[in-house]
Chain A
Amino acid sequence: MAKLFIYTIKQLLRDKEALFWIMIFPVIFILIFSLFDFSGGVNARILVVNKSNNEITNNLLIALSQIGGVGVNTSVDSLDEAKEALSKSKEYEFNYEEEVNVERPNVVLFIPEGYGEETYTTEVYYNESEEGQISPSGIITSIVSDITDEMVLQNAGVENPFNIERKGVSVNEIGYFDILVPGIIGMSIMQSGIIGMATVIATLKEKRVLKRLSATPLPIWKFLLVEVLTRVVITIIQITIMLSLSVAVLGASIYGNIPLLYFIGIFSSFVFLTLGFVAAAITNSANAASGLASVLTTPMMFLSGVFFDRETLPNVIKVIADFLPLSPVLDAMREVSLQEAGFREIQTELVIIAMWTIVSFILAAKTFNFREES
């Protein structure tokens, strides 16, 4: 079996076309996206209408303006004026961490009276046409609610220092590119799994190599196992290339546990490999199989949220999208790489992936007939 393994790897390395899709294509993707300037991930110009003006709100505003890409203006007193400014796109001076720029606002933060004492409710307004892939209002909302949480804890007498700095840093350094990298890694594992496996197996089927193999004493499951193992090795190489390229060369940030990322990649590759297998099983030619594989992968690429957040999908589609096999993979990868999630925190995702693996295994076993009995 060792010989089979070596020769299977050799074949894959000689298959220039397959290598392109497995190795070069995702790298091109990453390179292209790294060219865009997402400037630290967010550019929020906040008009703050501060009705409290106490120590807590002052600290909050200082904390906000210390975040890279966040500018603050406190000159407006009335919410109506601020909202009008937002929709009419008037220009204001915004204080950034190290500079002052005259720009149009894209978020209004309304702090009511008695903030930090009677209430912790703030209101965030935004101009819908200004919301891009990373929503400035969303980020501001989460920063403010994080800070608010801290304050609630503190007021409740829980020993927890007012640690705005830490939260700020964590949000600060997650750029769109950082969100994208785990997405593209997940996407390429899916593609090389489904498309790669479908094409290889369908070609072997079409050229009757599988049948020829079944005329030898080699049990066919051993052959298929080696195919899968080979692809797992490829997945490891893929993850390594993409991680090192995006982190070391292109400056993406990965915060979480790298071995855990590899684990997710390898674990999820089984689903995609078996799905590729199913595609090969239910089609009659290599062309048809790779076509079907594209049909399976392309919608998943968009619906599961490689580039966009699934939250932006219409509700019904979102529910479906949540259960696509790629979705838990992307979720788990992002939770680990961006939020330093551990094994425990991604258990749900892993269970969904495992269920998909079982389903696709059953499908593969039911549909695949390597001897092509007619």
Chain B
Amino acid sequence: MKKALIVENLVKDYKGFKAVDGISFHVDEGEIFGILGPNGAGKTTTLEMIEGLRSITSGKATVAGVKIPSRSSRQRLQEHIGVQLQSSSYFDFLTLYEILDLFGSFYKERIDPLRLLEMVQLHEKKDSLVKNLSGGQSQRFSIIAAIVNNPKIVFLDEPTTGLDPQIRRSLWELIRDINKEGKTVILTTHYMEEAEELCNRIAIMDKGKIIACDSPQGLISSQGLKFTIKFTPQSKMTKRQTEKFEKHPLVTKFWEEKSKYVFRIEDPTKINDILGWLENEHILFRNLEILPPNLEDVFLKLTGKKLRE
């Protein structure tokens, strides 16, 4: 598999504070790659060093075939990448069409502004100003503005932060569409759901370091995390039953949550054994939820804290 991005021992030092502390990873061509981590983990700094927007203290990277840091390569690098910055806006007094037309003029290769606007159903708004767009619209706009040069790699810095869930989902669709066109997408996020649903692979970042890097499934299964199972009984278990259930070899943890019983098991394929045990004890239940472990659990296990704290 060809590599779109190779990062080796990248460091960003701000007067002794290591915002990025020697990270290495790679991204394959055609991937959607996510950098997941809490605010202040160093995600944006990492991205901006790779984009040529911030100086690199030490380490190196190869981005779309261009080696950085290098004095001469900035322009060549930016010719081939698309960048969406976190919370940046565009010119106040230019229309959507004009902004795309102008940004396109900075590149050798460019996509027709109208085609881009049609991609995100903004073609009827081509003569509007950015300030007249809704939050979701302006975020969609800033994403198409990042691909105005038909780049090989698109960097999206927290593309869905602050948007409501429905709009967030529509942006995921857009990002998938862009990826289907053959572009490698590298994004940062602090939403574990976003990373899990959208990304082929994820690097989990905390305090300037990458603490794990794999596919979402790989990350979850490699950590030996447990499934959580919840059920609502028709009548409460007796004390003897709960004590017995707690000692069941498959159950690793057991507690009550309002009207529900909650327990954890390591191997979800053994669920039938548990259900059989409940039937033997004549414990009937109304519903049953099986919750697989997620990236939140991975993060919690790796760092001892929650992702959004």
Give the B-binding residues of A (Cβ under 8 A). Answer: 3-4, 7, 10-12, 14-15, 203, 207-209, 211-212, 214-219, 371, 373-374
Contacts and interface: CB of A to CB of B under 8 A. Distances in A.
Contact of A7 (B14, B53, B89, B102): B102
B196 interface: no
B94 A217 contact: no
Given A12-B93, A207-B88, 6 more contacts: A3-B105, A7-B98, A209-B88, A212-B85, A212-B88, A215-B52
Nearest to B81: A215
Contacts of B52: 215
B93 A371 contact: no
B265 to A, nearest CB: 47
Which secondary structure characterizes the binding site on chain B?
loop
Contacts of B93: 10-12, 14-15
Nearest to B146: A215
B85 A207 contact: no
Interface of B: 14, 51-55, 75, 78-79, 83, 85, 87-94, 98, 101-103, 105-107, 149
A21 to B, nearest CB: 15
B54 to A, nearest CB: 6
A216 B103 contact: yes
Contacts of A215: 51-53, 78, 83, 85
Nearest to B105: A3
Contact of A203 (B75, B78, B79, B92): B92
Contacts of B89: 207-209
Contact of A216 (B91, B92, B106): B106
Contacts of A4: 102, 105
B7 to A, nearest CB: 18
Q: Which 8 A-B pairs have the closest CB atoms?
A: A208-B88, A215-B83, A11-B93, A14-B93, A218-B106, A216-B106, A3-B105, A217-B75
B78 A209 contact: no
Contact of A373 (B55, B78, B88, B105): B55
A217 B64 CA distance: 15
Nearest to A210: B88
A233 to B, nearest CB: 16
B163 to A, nearest CB: 18
Contacts of B107: 216-217
B132 to A, nearest CB: 13
Contacts of B87: 208
Contacts of A217: 75, 78-79, 106-107
B300 to A, nearest CB: 30
B45 to A, nearest CB: 9
A373 B54 CA distance: 7
A151 B171 CA distance: 89
A10 B53 contact: no
B54 A371 contact: yes
Contacts of B101: 3, 7
A3 B101 CA distance: 9
A60 B83 CA distance: 79
A14 B91 CA distance: 11
A211 B103 CA distance: 13
7 contacts: A7-B101, A11-B94, A207-B88, A209-B88, A212-B85, A217-B78, A371-B53
Nearest to B129: A14
B91 A11 contact: yes
Contacts of A208: 85, 87-89
B281 to A, nearest CB: 61
A215 B88 CA distance: 12
Contacts of B105: 3-4
Given A373-B54, A373-B55, A374-B14, A3 B88 contact: no
A31 B81 CA distance: 54
A371 B75 CA distance: 15
Contacts of A211: 53, 85, 88
Contacts of B85: 208, 211-212, 215
